[in-house]
Chain A
Amino acid sequence: MNFNKDFKILSSGITYLDNCATTLKPSVVIDEINDYYTNYCANAHRGDYDLSRKVDEKISETREKVAYFINAKDSKEIIFTSGATESLNIIIKGFFGNYLKDGDEILTTKAEHASLILPWFEVAKTTNSKIKYIDLNPDLTVTLDNVKKAISKKTKVISLAHITNVIGDVRPIKEIIKYAHENNILVVIDAAQSVPHEKIDVTFLDVDFLAFSAHKMLGPTGVGVLYGKTKYLNDLKPLITGGGMNAFFDSLMNVEYKDIPEKLEPGTPNVSGIIGFSKAIDYLNALGMENVHKYEVDLKKYMISRLSKLKNVVIYNKDIPNGIITFNVNGVFAQDVAAYLNKKGICVRVGSHCAKILSEVLGVKNTCRASLYFYNTKEDVDKLVDALDNDNILYDSL
């Protein structure tokens, strides 16, 4: 399939391989946002006139679509946030900040993104609980056995990414969640790298909390989703209070909040973003998430088959079935590799990819990451591999 018509940037000659950071946006998403600002720009929660009612309906429709997309039991379990980072902060600080007690243990890994690990650091300090790290296997994967070994009687929560953003390994979260629940442990999943790339079913997984971002799945920036089971969201204390989320307050400081989801969505929502996100979900549904996943896995296989023939390239995650390829070029600093590729119109990400403690395990601090999406082609892969098939990358980067 050719996606150049829907993604105009693709015709500009750019080879975009940084889809873990953000994906491109199809015209239907951009047009939908434009339509809102052009034709019915009004605030939400003001059903006194038709324009505003339409905004409320659109937001509500998107909430239903998201619920259906991840198979949540009820759309009120879908909270719109500014992104996965905010979702995780609300879950971790708003729920676990009040749930954890002195001496309780939080289980996570050293491969997590800053947006998951830093809120846990904060909550560990404020609740006097402890962070323990699940051992990673030599190939940096997590197994249920390692999780079992790390669990103690004090473990109250396990929190990790479904798919990590550096290595891209897929954690056995269904098994982890099942085992956790048998031991009265809650589970918080960062799904920022999985919901955009494969079918996620929160009911099947039985996950307690889950977070992801719209912009990593064709949607606009500034929109994210917090999924939580109703019973936990009801107990979640809002981190931010204000308009739209309160049912009543008086001068004596008597305050009553609305029920979920409104309770956790203070202020004017990102109306245009949420409405645009709706079209992103439609687009992915039309493609089928199984197809998206299969296409990426096959394209990565193709890339590995070519890239592993290059003697100057080290690949860190050859066998992990998804669209993330993490590599370095021998003797060339990752940033110089990216500068070289940039000269050829190829966009890759370098650095620690926000997982700064992973270097303690990986042994290298900085890597290059090419991350694929369904609109990438074998030609994109060829362009990258052909560019890397060069013994003078450092010289040519200058």
Chain B
Amino acid sequence: MDVNLRKSIILEHYQNPLNKGLTNDDSYIKINMNSKTCIDNLDFEFKINHGIIEDIKFDGEACAISTSSSSIMSDLLKGKSIKQAKQIIKNYENMINELPYDKDLLGEANCYDEIYKQPNRKKCALLPYEGIKDVIDKLEGVKNDKK
């Protein structure tokens, strides 16, 4: 992706994030993602019914990368089935970790395709995806020892 386009997507989602602001509605699954290695601290809400991610909200204090990444993820995964979401997440993680991936699945999230050049920001780009993975794992009853 062109460097200026990449930066303008990130900035747009940082300065005008989509789905920012929590509903505090009990029908949402809530999770706090407080990065262990930096100062990002985001709360997420996911509304998942019958295997479909109906809504995603987030709020908190975080850097440009985590905030924009949360905004883009919320837009990308909304309306998707858990199965589709897992495929997108896997491809996104592969992109961040310099492994083969399908860029057609990732939409604007392709703007992080060179984040590996700033290794200490990879975790920022991954933070929201770690959050939804935790939620999906719990929903599917998989014990997740990673967190």
Which chain B residue shows the least CB distance to A396? B7
Tell me the A residues contacting B by CB distance below 8 Å. Answer: 333-336, 339, 342-343, 350-352, 365-366, 394-395, 397-398
Taking a contact as CB atoms under 8 Å apart, the answer to whether A335 and B40 are in contact is yes
Across the interface, do A339 and B7 meet the contact criterion of CB distance under 8 Å? no
Contact B10 A342 (CB under 8 A): no
Q: Which residues of B contact A365 (CB under 8 A)?
A: 39, 61
Q: Which of B33-75 contact A (CB under 8 A)?
A: 38-40, 61-65
Q: Whole-angstrom distance between the alpha carbons of A78 and B124 in the complex?
A: 43
Additional A-B contact list (7), CB under 8 Å, known A339-B120, A352-B39, A398-B7: A333-B61, A334-B39, A335-B38, A336-B65, A339-B65, A351-B38, A394-B14
CA distance A394 to B65 in the complex (A): 10
Mostly, the B contact residues are helix
A339 to B10, CA, bound (A): 15
CA distance A398 to B124 in the complex (A): 12
Q: Flag if A350 contacts B39 (CB, 8 Å).
A: yes
**Complex Cα gap A49–B11 (Å):** 67
CB distance from B146 to the nearest CB of A (A): 23
Least Cβ–Cβ distance between A357 and chain B, in angstroms: 15
Chain B count of residues within 8 A CB distance of the other chain: 17
B144 within 8 A of A: no
Nearest CB on A from B22, distance (A) = 18
- Partner of B63 from A336, A343, A395 at Cβ < 8 Å: A336
15 CB-based A-B contacts, threshold 8 Å: A333-B62, A333-B63, A335-B38, A335-B40, A335-B63, A335-B124, A336-B64, A339-B63, A339-B65, A394-B14, A395-B7, A395-B11, A398-B6, A398-B7, A398-B64
Q: B90 within 8 Å of A by Cβ?
A: no
- Cα–Cα, bound, A365→B41 (Å): 11
A394 near B11: Cβ-Cβ < 8 Å: yes
Q: How far is the CA of A335 from the CA of B60 in the complex (A)?
A: 14
Q: Contacts A366-B61, A397-B64 given: A335-B39 contact, CB under 8 Å?
A: yes
Minimum CB–CB distance from B13 to chain A (whole Å) comes to 11
Residue of A333, A351, A365, A394 with highest tally of chain B CB at under 10 A: A333
Does B24 reach chain A (CB closer than 8 Å)? no
B62: A residues at CB distance < 8 A:
333, 335
- CA A343 – CA B7 in complex, angstroms? 15
A351 to B40, CA, bound (A): 9
User: Measured between alpha carbons, how far is A333 from B10 in the docked complex, in Å?
Assistant: 14
Is the Cβ of B11 less than 8 Å from the Cβ of A366?
no
Q: Establish whether residues B39 and A366, one from each chain, have CB atoms under 8 Å apart when the complex forms.
A: yes
Give CA–CA (A294, B78) in the complex, Å. 59
- Identify the 6 closest CB pairs spanning chains A and B, nearest first: A335-B63, A351-B39, A398-B7, A336-B64, A333-B63, A336-B63
